[in-house]
Amino acid sequence: MKPEYKKKPIRSYVIRAGRMTDGQKNAFDQWWSVYGLSLFDGEINPAEIFAQEAPLVVEVGFGMGESLFAMAKAEPDKNFIGIEVHPPGVGRLISLAGIEGLTNLKVYMADAVDVMSDCIPASSTDRFQLFFPDPWHKKKHNKRRIVQPTFVEQVRKILKPDGHFHMATDWQEYADYAIEVMTLAAGYTNTAEAYCFAERPMYRPNTKFEARGERLGHGVWDIVFAKV
């Protein structure tokens, strides 16, 4: 399977050419019909696709899926939608979910901007998660960062009133940039004090990647804003 997306001039990601394991390939055959959603099916009804009325969490860029799997397993009273363009990570996540028998998780392998525009209903999402996005740290690549005024406005549209935008990054310069963008964005308020970072919420797992960075002295910054 290939990621679904519309044509656009600037993307916040590059499709990596990493090989999938046999297990990840088999996961698509076995589990995609259970967990997979298509961009081209249009707007969803979360209560219908999950067969339960529950708070909705949307995560963009879940990588190999371990933390999203852990959150969905830990919070069965919430519905989770993950959006990722890299097939190995999608295969890994749906394999974990299928083996565990999770019923509160769905996945798009598609461009997040397209999914949010065409598939996620307005004012439907309780929590939006963006954990460790590519910082595009070279100045000439800053325009590729997913956190842009137009993007956070798109997130605001799918959030419910008082719904939360939660970003985490291990690049301080990106953290400073993102909190500036969020502070200037209309319709949001910082859940911490103005221009302050948040404590890591208990629901966000401390990943192996993050733990390794902490051992090396790297910081991690959480940014949590509420829609007003």
Catalytic residues: 134
Q: Of how many residues is the chain composed? A: 228
For residues 57 and 125, the answer to whether their CB atoms sit within 8 Å is: yes
In angstroms, the CA 143 to CA 146 distance is 8
Contact yes or no for 94/31 (Cβ under 8 A): yes
Residue 166 to residues 60, 76, 106, 225, Cα–Cα distance (Å): 11, 20, 19, 7
Dihedral sign for Cα 52, 57, 62, 66, please. Answer: negative
